[in-house]
Amino acid sequence: MAAGAIGNRTGTAVPAWRAALLRWLRRIGAAVLLILLAIGLTLWWAARWAPSRDQYPWQGATIDARNGQVQWGSVKAAGADFAYIVATDGAARVDPMFARNIRAAREVGVQTGAIHRYDLCRLATDQAANFIRHVPRRADTLPAAVWLDYNDRCPDRPTRALLLSELATFLAQIEAHMGKPSMVAPSPAFEADYQVTRGIARTAWLRRDFFAPDYGAHPWAMWQANDYMRISGADGTIGWNVVRPDGDIK
């Protein structure tokens, strides 16, 4: 046998460099498989994780049209005591599944609240008119939630003073319609820029996956704890929320 070569099972000489390369490739392949397995297990865990019911007895879902034809009986069976359902967006957009979702959720006994996605590029009065037009007033509904985040449709950034003034106008108008105070739901980036919870005296719904939020000027009443949750009865992922035991969102 030639120097620098080893035999294989057929007796044919295999160069040492090739044998070393094969061993290296096998190790790389094994490492890749382990990484893929770890990613798969992480995604499986993330799709099912929710905070403890012992600590947060009242829990629920965030639902919009991306979740398809929601089977609300299955959502309730999955543990949703309540649901916040996207209703309106800006001055003209309406979630096409809102009316169906709000009706079907109530039919199976899931308490509901409506979400408005606030648009920095639209007047508060126009946005309030859109919300009032599509969200009926009911005594048993949860407080409306104003979702505050950035989006690609609106690259403009108003001053904090202007934003707070417009937001106060919007809240006053929808609260007169709904008959109760609303919640504000700023993302971490939005809150960092505008400090909404410091400037607007409303209950806060904050967001942070898997760890309790540590932003905001005062303790949150509701926490969106998992934006990767998957449950029976809804397509894709949903937001999963918990209410602080001493939080008032009713």
Q: What is the 3-state secondary structure (H, E, C) of 50-84?
A: CCCCCCCCCEEEEECHHHCCCCHHHHHHCCCCEEE
Measured distance CA(81)–CA(98) in Å, rounded:
18
Is residue 44 classed exposed, middle or buried when 0-12, 13-18 and 19+ CB atoms within 10 A define those classes? exposed
Predicted pLDDT of residue 10: 54
Report yes or no: 167 and 118 within 8 Å, Cβ to Cβ: yes
Structure tokens at 201: 């005296």
The Cα 59–Cα 188 span in angstroms is: 21
Mean pLDDT of all residues in 192-211:
96
Q: Which tens digits make up the pLDDT trace of 114-164?
A: 999 999 999 999 999 999 999 999 999 999 999 999 988 888 789 999 999
CATH superfamily of 53-243: Glycosidases (3.20.20.80)
pLDDT band, residue 207 (cuts 50/70/90): very high
Residue 27, pLDDT score: 78
- Residue 249 has, within 13 A of its CA and on its CB side, a CA count of 30
- Per-residue pLDDT for 43 more than 70? no
What per-residue confidence (pLDDT) applies to 2? 47
Residues contacting 166, CB < 8 A, separation 6+: 123, 124, 158
| Mean pLDDT score of the chain | 90
Of the chain, the percentage scoring pLDDT greater than 90 comes to 76
CA distance 31 to 183: 47
Residues 6+ apart with CB under 8 A from 236: 66, 67, 68, 230
pLDDT at 78 over 80: yes
pLDDT of 42: 62
Q: Looking at the predicted structure, is the pLDDT value of residue 34 above 90?
A: no
Domain-wise residue ranges, the chain:
5-45, 53-243
Query: Which of 10-24, 112-126, 204-218 is least confident?
Result: 10-24
Q: Which residue has the higher pLDDT, 9 or 144?
A: 144
